Amino acid sequence: MNIKDIFTPFTVWSSVLKDPVTIKNPIGREAAPRYRGFHYNDINACIGCGTCEAICENQAIDLVPVEGIVTKSGDSGLRPMVDYGRCCWCALCVDICTTASLRLTNAYTWVDTDPDNFRFIPGVDKKDWDEVQLGWRKPEPNYSFYGLHRQHMGELHAEDRKSSFIEFVQGYSKEQAQQEADRCVSCGICVATCPAHMGIPEYIKAIRNDDMEEGMRILYETNPLPEICGRICTHKCEDVCSIGHHGDPLSIRWLKRYIADQIPTDVNTYQDILGTGNLAKNGKKIAIVGSGPSGLSAAHYLALLGYSITVFEKLPAAGGMMRYGIPEYRLPYDQIDKDINYIASLGVEFKYNITVGKDITLDQLSKDFDAVFSGTGLHLGRSTRIPGSDNENVYQSVDLLRDIVTGKPVPVMPKVVVIGGGNVAMDITRSMARLQMEKYGKVDVLATSLEDEDFMPADREEIVEAREEGCTIVPGYGPQEVVLENGKLKGLKVWKCLSIFDENKAFNPKFDSAQERIFEADMVIESIGQGMDLSYLTEEIKSKIEFNNRGRIVVDADYQAKGLPWLFVGGDIIEGPDVIHGIANGHRAAMGIDRFLNG
């Protein structure tokens, strides 16, 4: 180093008193077509997932609320604000954008004397370059930092599965699970949509790290039924997955199942991983009526808080409609037992074959326990009440599904017609197909619904798999009459459905009688919805609580029945039918009970 090297840095002080010079038009020529200049964002396509904010190493992007944009399912309501004091125009935010709403224009000159103006919300704060189409966009096609296509889930071929109640979805291997997990951008847009607000990005990260114990701990923070939910959850989280805007949504449900499947069935292993081996008791007792998802969820979280829990179940085993309404080929009983056995290991006592309201009254439970939670579910079928629906060969799907589980004789006729387009309708359709294969060696089951196929409430895969198994699905028709000849069932008369709801959005189907069809049948199964049995509520109790216009019990934010402080209510009789909703409100009711008993 010489003398010049030492003194040269100090020469800059010669400019300290000079006025700064602002050049209004520093260059004045158009940039290259793919130059990376200032941002523009299509705020209507943007969902505020935050991937741009997460990937920016300079912390130049913040998600902020925008007036007029509301938070809704699949949209956080936030939009990115860019700080050009930090931005380096690397375009990673554009490359990672899951909706391709964000781009860089090729505008690169912006003169302003106020530095605060260089922080703005693209697409909201109007700029001269908003209409500029040149610049840097995410290259198409198939340019992405993440895989666009989900890992295929293996399952038994239709010819192999339609004659068996063995579980046909085979689950992910370790390699498949990790490859699917690598597609996740950890935006978290799914978390808000999940009724239980599960830590989805965190448990997917655990799969990437091959840390199943950590994954299990994250699952149990908000969901004590991971084996069950990993198979039958309605997975609304996948409907809003940000990756689904340009590719296949992430297989969130199957990844949850993968974690649960890796944990041994031994309850001691569960307790070691979750740290629940020695739970202190607080001396207070809670009665739970019904062992469906809400009851089990409430029992789990109350047990963790030290309460002594007794579950009263009218059927021979726990699980509610999960066990007695969902076929074993979709939800094997041993997987139900795996979740329930762990809950029982926390000290939860189950009393089976006891009907509250008959074997013991709700009033008595209120005296014997400090609080009562009721989650009795929807176990009653609804009738169409069309002419002929009272014939002996017209059945309810919920009754038949329960008889299949309990081993009671189930009538199996050569020709079966199912009325309904929901998941329960598909369950009984596919179950009867299996029973027909066992008895006759062929399938002749037809399911019909008011809704067109695009609007059938059943999961799409249920409809596809039913057809693969030989069932016939005829959507868009409404039942008018069960056709009888000399008292013997011959078929179902239907008319083409023109609309389901009227201008006030009330259920009021309209039909075209000129488009009439007769579906031949020896047996008709109604599966148009389920009702609740509240016969265990005495008239005195009913007079103290409130009901809404749908006949549901009115509860507060803690799921406490208004007018009866000791009674908490959850599950399908409040919100459903949906397993994950039941798990979520059972959890919240547990917290509500704890607040009620401890101020």
Architecture per CATH, domain 26-136, reads as: 2-Layer Sandwich (3.30)
Closest-CA residue to 321 (of 527, 589, 571, 550): 571
pLDDT band at 140 (very low <50, low <70, confident <90, very high): confident
When pLDDT is averaged across residues 157-165 and rounded to a whole number, the result is: 91
Question: What are the pLDDT digits (tens) for 66-81?
Answer: 999 999 999 999 999 9
Residue 578: what pLDDT? 87
pLDDT band at 146 (very low <50, low <70, confident <90, very high): confident
Q: What percent of the chain has pLDDT over 70?
A: 98
Q: Are 447 and 421 in contact (CB under 8 A)?
A: yes
Question: In whole angstroms, what is the distance from residue 335 CA to residue 226 CA?
Answer: 9
Q: Are 343 and 300 in contact (CB under 8 A)?
A: yes
Query: Is pLDDT above 80 for 7?
Result: no
Give the pTM: 0.90
When pLDDT is averaged across residues 349-358 and rounded to a whole number, the result is: 96
- Topology agreement, domain 280-379+532-598 and domain 381-530: yes
The more confident residue out of 266 and 300 is 300
Residue 2: what pLDDT? 72
Question: What are the pLDDT digits (tens) for 376-411?
Answer: 998 999 999 999 999 999 999 999 999 999 999 999
DSSP-derived secondary structure letter, 572? G
Say which residue the tokens 């007036």 belong to. 67
Question: What are the pLDDT digits (tens) for 451-491?
Answer: 999 999 999 999 999 999 999 999 999 999 999 999 999 99
Say which residue the tokens 């609580």 belong to. 545
Residue 479: what pLDDT? 97
Going from N- to C-terminal start, the domains of the chain cover 26-136, 158-263, 280-379+532-598, 381-530
Question: In whole angstroms, what is the distance from residue 590 CA to residue 599 CA?
Answer: 14
- Residue 306 to residues 286, 300, 309, Cα–Cα distance (Å): 11, 10, 9
The CATH class for the domain spanning 280-379+532-598 reads alpha beta
Residue 13: what pLDDT? 73
Residue 17: what pLDDT? 75
Residue 348: what pLDDT? 97
Q: What percent of the chain has pLDDT over 90?
A: 84
Question: In whole angstroms, what is the distance from residue 312 CA to residue 501 CA?
Answer: 40
Query: Is pLDDT above 80 for 14?
Result: no
The CATH class for the domain spanning 381-530 reads alpha beta
Query: Is pLDDT above 80 for 25?
Result: no
Could you write out the DSSP letters of every residue in 311-334?
EE-SSSSS-THHHHSS-TTTS-HH
Architecture per CATH, domain 158-263, reads as: Orthogonal Bundle (1.10)
Query: Is pLDDT above 80 for 102?
Result: yes
| Least confidently predicted of 5-19, 152-166, 287-301, 309-323 | 5-19
